[in-house]
Amino acid sequence: MSESLLSELKSELLAIADLNSAAMVLEWDQSTYMPAAGADARGRQIALLGELAHARRTAPRMTELFRGLSAVAERDDLDGALVRRARKQWERATCVPTSLVSEIKSHTARSYVAWTQAKPSGDFAAVRPFLEKTVELSRRYAECFPTREHILDPLIDANDPGMTTQSIRALFAALRAQLVPIVQAIAERPAPDRGFLERHFPADAQLAFGAEVAKELGYDFARGRQDLTVHPFMIRFAADDIRITTRVDEHDLSDALFGTIHEAGHAMYEQGIAHALDGTPLGEGVSAGVHESQSRLWENLVGRSRAFWARFLPIAQARFPEQLGDVDLDTFYRGINRVERSLVRTESDEVTYNLHVMLRFDLEVQLLEGSLKVADLPEAWDARMASDLGVRPSSPTQGCMQDVHWYCTTIGGTFQGYALGNVIAAQVFESARAAMPDLDARLSGGDFASLRGWLTENLYQHGARYEPDELVKRVTGKPIAIDAFVRHLKAKYGALYGVTF
């Protein structure tokens, strides 16, 4: 009985996954190759596929299926995990009225246009009414979900299941207390040179170098590919078709290179998921935080390490002899790890990045709670930048209007994942290092398969089978905590900047 219901559920979930994959192919094309003139029709087509997937997910038959499968959902096996995750997605999908979804979509589309027009001059007054409406809609959206202690909880739960406003706040408070003095101590030291990264690096050669690096790390191009786009992303169409995108700045080697390693990290996670999970709700990365941990692990803990560049600097120098021929390993390593108290999150380094993220998170909490008025946002932003980073934007262009977040969709539930990613990455990497004490030697010798194999065995293969906190415990023996990340920063940047923390 429950076996036939289970088989019916799986078949329906596969159809829903296929509709979503089809929509993603349309989105990928829109972001890479589509002529701009095709946007209207494309938007309509993507919306239609989304509506069809939503209709199937919320069909009356689903209620019967999940009722009939309640015993399976208790099981400790793969099918139990599958039914639980599917049921949660179904519950979430049934909570929000489609009229509200439509209202959010049409409002945020207008808000996005207003932001693109107002950003260059930093005209916050022009976007303020839009943001006020977005906050209201975000609150109404969050209120659709019945169980919550805090208004933000259901939004966090959508991306980082198991985390709450309270648990994130506690984690972030501890992290901020550690980070601020580290940043201050570094700021007093002389800044290393990174001018060599800003020489002219032709786009084609950068793309070829990035692809070589991604391939050697273990991104499988036979089951993926790389294309150019404006805002790089990783996207999964199926277990054997997982793509990355990048962009190139001919006057900064690091943009495309570390961006490519970042997306390849996301993609290697997806490529490592067991094939048996493909087309099920378990066949994907388990949470925003864990996903980001793998992009950041490869980008920062591997890609910005000395061991990595012991391997790749000679290769980079062979590809760019005129630009990098005069740079030694130490100079290069210091240059790519320069810490700067900058204003813009997306351009910030490994040390300061989380401060940007926590600022966003805290302001979102206050906006949604109503304790911060939209009108007071610019001043709240600037004051926090000054206290955390010691710099102050001269205009909202570099402050609370600096990126498209808050102007293109609801607010809340997104930013915590970026900081969690850094924290989890360090914790997982520390365990990998404990399992392979000679890890640095392996990396500098070009053996990335050991690390990737360890990650696949311990983390990637499981997809979304285990909840994030349980998964991290299985991999590292401990719940998610900031200790390893703080140890990593103190050790690496203490040595780099000659500071004792």
Which of the residues are catalytic? 263
Nearest to 226 by CA among 247, 205, 240, 250: 247
Separation CA 206–CA 134 (nearest Å)? 39
Interaction between residue 375 and a second copy (CB under 8 A): no
CB of 227 to a second copy, least distance (A): 7
Asked if 204 interacts with a second copy (CB under 8 A), we say: no
Cα first-last separation, the chain: 62
| 241 near a second copy, rule: CB under 8 A | yes
Q: Mind spelling out the 3-state secondary structure of 369-436? A: HCCCCHHHHHHHHHHHHHHHHCCCCCCHHHCCCCCCCCCCCCCCCCHHHHHHHHHHHHHHHHHHHHHC
Binding residue (CB under 8 A) for a second copy from 146, 222, 230, 437: 222
Nearer to a second copy, 206 or 245 (CB): 245
Using CB under 8 A, which of 74, 193, 240, 322 touches a second copy?
Answer: 240
Measured from the CB atom, is 12 or 250 closer to a second copy?
12
Residue 22 beta carbon to a second copy: minimum distance, rounded to whole angstroms: 5
Q: How far is the CB of 394 from a second copy (least distance, A)?
A: 38
CB of 34 to a second copy, least distance (A): 6
Residue 223 as a binder of a second copy (CB under 8 A): the answer is: yes
If the CB atoms of residues 23 and 104 are measured against a second copy, the closer one turns out to be: 23
- Residue type at position 136: E
Least spacing, CB of residue 29 vs a second copy, in Å: 6
Classify strands 241-246 and 234-238 as parallel, antiparallel or unpaired.
Answer: antiparallel
Q: Please, which residue, 285 or 378, has the CB nearer to a second copy?
A: 285
**Shorter beta-carbon distance to a second copy: residue 241 or 330:** 241
Which of these ranges, 71-79, 215-223, 363-371, 487-495, lies near a second copy under the rule CB under 8 A?
Answer: 215-223
Structure token digits, residue 440: 């640095």
By the 8 A CB rule, do 265 and 285 touch?
Answer: no
Does 15 interact with a second copy (rule: CB under 8 A)?
A: yes
Of the candidate residues 8, 278, 340, 347, the single one contacting a second copy (CB under 8 A): 278
> How far apart are CB 409 and a second copy at their closest, in Å?
23
Contact range with a second copy by CB under 8 A, out of 4-12, 132-140, 235-243, 350-358: 235-243
Residue closest to 378 by CA, chosen among 358, 402, 356, 354: 402
Cα atoms in the Cβ-side hemisphere of radius 13 Å centred on 357: 28
Residues 162-201 that bind a second copy (CB under 8 A): none
Read off the amino acid at residue 89.
Q
CA distance 489 to 487: 6
Q: Applying CB under 8 A, which of residues 122, 154, 210, 224 lies at the interface with a second copy? A: 224
Return the residues of window 16-75 that contact a second copy according to CB under 8 A. 18-19, 21-23, 25-26, 28-29, 33-38, 40-42, 44-45, 48-49, 52
Q: How far apart are the C-alpha atoms of 323 and 393, rounded to whole Å? A: 33
Residue 94 tokens, joined: 């049934």
What whole-number distance in Å separates Cα of residue 382 and Cα of residue 480? 30
Report the alpha-carbon distance of residue 12 to residue 16 in Å, rounded.
Answer: 6
Written as six digits, the tokens of 410 are: 């609801």
Contact status: 6 vs a second copy (CB under 8 A): no
To the nearest whole angstrom, how small is the minimum distance from the Cβ of residue 9 to a second copy?
Answer: 17
Q: Does 447 bind a second copy (CB under 8 A)?
A: no
Q: Binding of a second copy at residue 268 (CB under 8 A)? A: no
**114 close to 404: Cβ distance less than 8 angstroms:** no
Q: Which of 218, 279, 396, 417 binds a second copy (CB under 8 A)?
A: 279
What are the CA-CA distances from residue 132 to residues 125, 321, 358, 474 (Å)? 11, 53, 21, 42
Q: Minimal CA–CA distance to 335: which of 225, 199, 443, 152?
A: 199
CB of 218 to a second copy, least distance (A): 16
Instruction: Indicate whether 211 belongs to the interface with a second copy (CB under 8 A).
Output: no
C-beta atoms surrounding 23 within 10 Å: 18
Size of the site for a second copy (CB under 8 A): 37
Site residues, a second copy (CB under 8 A): 15, 18-19, 21-23, 25-26, 28-29, 33-38, 40-42, 44-45, 48-49, 52, 221-225, 227, 237-241, 278-279
